[in-house]
Chains A and B, each alone.
Chain A
């Protein structure tokens, strides 16, 4: 009797699997995102996990010195994952979120967890990468994840190929992201020494930014635009394209608050351009 019942259950399971397969396939996104399965499985909760994993990367960047949900303030310069090499004097007894010990238990307990503000260095930045990768898997629309990981991969870990691959993965999920294009261009300029490709990427980044600006989506992202033009200027210098440099500088002067340092540069380019035309 039990054998027949088991056979019946098996048949039901098989039938259900064949019936459910088609709707499941329809639920899967049509893009090439690797997180299709996760999206179907976890729904919107994956964004929460993505944020958590990104915070975990930040905690790793501080070697575990990181506030819990009970510590209301974040450490000074919260999430400065992309801050670059450690500034001198930054590694000191920073108790910004810990505050002074409240009692002897608190004071004694501080010996058992990281209580000094430090940043990873000397290639140890690699330790944050798994969390960033997981964060991207959970929420491919989180652009900051791709940019941060690529920054460390190309700048200190000497892995431009991996950085580019990751950024392109991010670009497939976020085709309109000028942030990813900005970082991708940097790989071509600083690591691959190919200013021409870098410039083309930044031109595209600029178009994407302008497109979003027209839609009124990124009024507070002026700084990114400055960076795009600034990097384009560097590429144009490498390409020795004075005309383009002039245009970049004029645009920079138009948008930048620090015109003082840019105007002499523009004058210099104009002089060189006039000499060239003679």
Chain B
């Protein structure tokens, strides 16, 4: 498994040598500052709308970084043929998958640190206080969520040939889950019968990314931090789901011919 770390380090290098991250970060900063400069009824203590907007932009940027960075990893290795000299070394396919996952996930984590630091600055400048525990929990759970996203996109990159179609399909699925995933049970109950059972099965099967996304509301509206046991539960759920998706990815990739 030691080969995972060099592979991961190349992915991280790729992130900070490409322009994607900088463009998204600068856009987030500019849009947040632009909205922050708007004067609403001469009240400079209004903070929540700005926190809301900033967090929304951070979520969008992080999803774009996670999906686009991950979607191109395996296809780019195959297209440029670097996968051949790499796998010609004592590197197993499982290690390649694990290394790519670790790299993308760590790259997302580093991006999140930068983004949340900016969020903390914006929040503190308005509210003159920092809710450390809540912000840490939000960032951590955001990162765990991105772990599931990265694993999902990595699986997609084995199934779909083109990175663009993989990225599009994964983004639609992720946004769909965040928007409606938690409500599928209600829909299933209304449907009843076989269709209801089918929807309920989907509800249990999908990764509940909406949990992690919902934390935004707690941060924006200054709710107290989540019970640490619940936080740990969400972390374990996310890690298990990522591991599950990675196992499927490995099973598919293990048998896949690289030459055709």
Contacts and interface: CB of A to CB of B under 8 A. Distances in A.
A199 B214 CA distance: 49
B48 A127 contact: yes
B233 interface: yes
A112 B226 contact: yes
Contact of B42 (A106, A109, A112, A159): A159
Interface string A120-140: 000100110111010000000
A113 B40 contact: no
B203 A111 contact: no
B95 interface: no
A166 B208 contact: no
Interface residues of A, number: 28
Contacts of A149: 41
B182 A129 contact: no
A277 interface: no
B218 A126 contact: no
B41 A114 contact: no
Contact of A111 (B183, B185, B189, B227): B227
B186 interface: yes
Contact of A60 (B215, B221, B226): B221
B19 to A, nearest CB: 25
Interface size class of B (residues with CB under 8 A): 35 or more
18 contacts: A102-B186, A103-B185, A105-B203, A108-B211, A108-B234, A109-B214, A111-B226, A112-B211, A112-B218, A112-B230, A113-B217, A126-B46, A127-B47, A130-B38, A130-B49, A153-B41, A157-B41, A162-B41
B83 to A, nearest CB: 38
B45 interface: yes
B180 interface: yes
B212 A112 contact: yes
Nearest to A72: B186
A108 B237 CA distance: 11
Interface stretch (A44-52, A63-71, A235-243, A260-268): A63-71
B193 to A, nearest CB: 17
Interface in B212-234: 212, 214-215, 217-218, 220-223, 226-227, 230, 233-234
B214 A105 contact: no
A127 B203 contact: no
Given A60-B221, A70-B180, A112 B45 contact: no
